[in-house]
Amino acid sequence: MELKASMAGSVWKINVAQGDSVNEGEDVIILESMKMEIPIPAEKTGTLQKLNVAEGDFVNEGDVLAVIE
């Protein structure tokens, strides 16, 4: 499952490392956009296979931030 950015912003915090398990609803990444924090939660429980971004990166709406399997 791909974890996508819900809006343009920058990556404020990454709460999970590659290989970690994540639970459904857990905030994997927190974006910052227009002075607001936008949490990006996991849609289902799994393992974080791939992380495409680092803290401080700019992302556009729809960008794949991470892959959870």
Partner 1 sequence: MIKKVLIANRGEIAARIIRTCKQMNITTVAVYSEADQKADFTKMADECYLIGPPRVNESYLNAEKIISIAKQAKVDAIHPGYGFLSESDQFAGKCEEAGITFIGPKASVMKQMGSKVLARQLMEKAGVPTIPGTKEALATAEEALNAAQDIGYPIMLKASAGGGGIGMQVVENDEELVRAFESNAKRAKTFFGNGDMFLEKKLKNARHIEVQILADHNGNVIHLFERDCSIQRRNQKVVEEAPSTFISEETRRRMTEAAINAAKALEYTNAGTIEFLVDNKENFYFLEMNTRVQVEHPVSEEITGIDIVEKQIKIAAGESLDISQKDIYTNGHAIEVRIYAEDPVTFMPSPGHVSQITFPNEDYARNEPAITGPSDITHFYDPMIAKLIIHGTDRQDAIAKLTKALQTYRVVGIKTNLPMLQYISEDEIFRKGNVTTAYVQEHYIPNINAK
Instruction: For partner 1, give the closer residue by CB, 32 or 50.
Output: 32
Q: How far is the CB of 18 from partner 1 (least distance, A)?
A: 24
Q: Give the shortest CB-33-to-partner 1 separation in angstroms.
A: 4
**What distance in Å separates the CA atoms of residue 34 and residue 50, rounded to the nearest whole number?**
27
6 or 52: whose CB is closer to partner 1? 6
Rule CB under 8 A: which of 10-39 touch partner 1? 10, 32-36, 38
The C-alpha torsion from 14 through 49 and 9 to 31, rounded to 10°, is -30
Residue 30, beta-bridge partner list? 13, 39
